[in-house]
Structure formats: C-alpha cells, structure tokens
Chain A
C-alpha cells in the first residue's frame, strides 16, 4: 500500500480547513449570529460620512443665518401687532432663526421684558427647535418630500396651538 507524501497530506488538511471555515460561515449566517462590532461601526461611520456634504451644507446655512438674522431684527418684528399676528410671527421667526435653544430662551425673555405677548414668545421658542427652514433641504433629502412637508405643517399648527394653550392655562392658573 502506498503511503501519501507529506505534501498531499498538507493539501488535504488545508482544503479541509477551508471547507470547514466555509461551513462555519454558512452556519453563522443561517443562525443570524452577530457580525464583528468593528465592521458594524465601519458601516455606521460610512453611512454618516455619506451624509457629510448634506450636514456641512446645513451647518454653513445655520452660520449664515445666525449672522444675517440678528436678535435686533427679530425683536423689531413684534411691535404693535394683534395677538394672532404676534403668535404667527413668533412661529415664523422661530423657524427662520437658527442656533442653540439657549439663545431662543434669552431672546424670548428679552421679548417678554419689552412687552411682547407670551403667545408670541412661546411660539417663538417652540418653533426654534421643531421647525427650521435651514435644515429643510437635508430633511427633504433624508426623509422624503411627503414626510417633511406633513411633519412641518403639523409642527407649525401645533406650535401655535400649544403656545395659545400654554398662555391660556397660565392665565387660568394665575
């Protein structure tokens, strides 16, 4: 009987290992085992990187709006209007303005001190966060036109509604 040479034994063992590793991979796939965390992290980072131009564009616009739309301009808009117009203006200006919500609180406090109604100030600080003309292009690209349009319409209506409800409730409570 012929004995197999060392080279052929190595080849058989090597082929066996490859077959075994393929089997393991298939079993892992079938059992739904988790992939390596590094691969998942890489995938998330790549997905984020793909969105980088979109996010950088929004950041660029936010910077531009913060310089062009000054607090002085915003405060000047609220002089001598009816409550409804003030609330509407509060919602609109809040959605045009951009930046940290702290700024909206400070501006809102300033508006209150200047005699602007609480309806308008509440609408202003609410729409500052939930609505944003500056981020609309990014929202449109990520979530689609239908979702963006209806979410913003709902948000606009509810901002005014909540502003009115909050002020009325506070009036009743006091």
Chain B
C-alpha cells in the first residue's frame, strides 16, 4: 500500500495540455471549419461535466473526512473480502459522466490502499448506465438490455479477477 504523502502542489499533464493547444492552433491555421466547432464542442462538454467535477471533489472530501486511510484499505484493500468487489461494482454502475472525471477520486482511493483489480472492476462495470437503461431498452429491446447487463456484471468481476491473478503471479 502506498502511503499518502503531502506533495507540493504541481500541475499534471502540462505538456499533454500544451500539445492539445498546439494541435488546435495548427488546426485553426489550416482547417478553421473543423477547429471552431471542435473548440465549441469541448467548451460544451466542459460545461456539461462541471457538476460532475464538483460531485467528485465533494465525494473525495467526504470520504477523506469520514474514513481513515486504514478504513478505506479495509473496505477496498488487500484484506477486503467480497464486499470490496461489490463496492467497486456498485461504484462503477452508479458513477455518472465520463470516465476521466473520476480519475482524481480513484487515484486518491488507490493511494489509500484500493486494490488495482477493484479499479479494473470499477472501470469495466461503468458500461451499465442506470439512467440510460430505458434508452437502451428503446433502441435494442428489453431482452438485449438484460442479457448484456448480466454479461457486463459477470465480465467486470472476471476482468478484475484475471488482473489480480496476473498481478500476483508477477506476470505484470
């Protein structure tokens, strides 16, 4: 388990952000018709997921406030039982918005002892979107939605299990 350290504040992914800015700059020079709507779309996405960012910040703070690192490690760490798997599965299903919006919270949980296989379960189970289930039923039918959801749930757990096996066997 990695211990949480008080690192000095530093921006992460600066060069990645700079590369994206340069990409936009080049696109604005040579293909303005694509660059402008792309930028507008990005702003639209940012505005739409801002509330999710707020929820993630609040959720991270609440977790850190009410739970000690050793408690989190107890629920999701090496010694966690089947409950840890169910927490990860439920977390993945409930979590709303794009995957990258949850990276800060998951990184925080990981630094406090969350197992990597449970992270895999969380990511895999995100395919089930409860608010979008009616839409899926409308597009593909009830039978398809039920069968797919069941396989996603089983598949998420199996993926986590395989990752854990590979990790323990030192193949990773």
* B residues near A68, Cβ cutoff 8 Å: 34, 38
A108 & B12 in contact (Cβ 8 Å cutoff)? no
B24 & A154 in contact (Cβ 8 Å cutoff)? no
Which of B13, B127, B159 touches A154 (beta carbons < 8 Å)? B159
State whether the Cβ of B1 lies closer than 8 Å to any Cβ in chain A: no
| Residue of A whose beta carbon sits closest to that of B45 | A59
Q: Is the interface of A mostly helix, strand, loop or mixed?
A: helix
* A residues near B151, Cβ cutoff 8 Å: 162, 165-166, 169
* B residues near A135, Cβ cutoff 8 Å: 98-100
B17 & A132 in contact (Cβ 8 Å cutoff)? no
* A residues near B140, Cβ cutoff 8 Å: 105, 108-109, 112, 121
Q: Complex: how many Å from CA A46 to CA B27?
A: 32
Q: Which of A21-29, A79-87, A139-147 contacts B (4 or more CB under 8 A)?
A: A139-147
State whether the Cβ of A37 lies closer than 8 Å to any Cβ in chain B: yes
B139 & A108 in contact (Cβ 8 Å cutoff)? yes
* B residues near A162, Cβ cutoff 8 Å: 148, 151-152, 155
Give min CB distance, B25 to chain A, whole Å: 11
Give min CB distance, A48 to chain B, whole Å: 5
Number of contacts between A and B (CB, 8 Å)? 200
Q: Complex: how many Å from CA A37 to CA B65?
A: 6
* B residues near A169, Cβ cutoff 8 Å: 147, 151
Which of A43, A105, A141, A143 touches B12 (beta carbons < 8 Å)? A141
State whether the Cβ of B107 lies closer than 8 Å to any Cβ in chain A: yes
State whether the Cβ of A19 lies closer than 8 Å to any Cβ in chain B: no
Can you name 22 A-B residue pairings with CB atoms under 8 Å? Answer: A43-B64, A44-B108, A51-B13, A57-B16, A59-B42, A59-B45, A60-B20, A63-B40, A66-B38, A67-B34, A109-B140, A126-B148, A129-B99, A139-B103, A141-B13, A142-B107, A146-B172, A154-B163, A162-B148, A166-B148, A170-B144, A173-B143
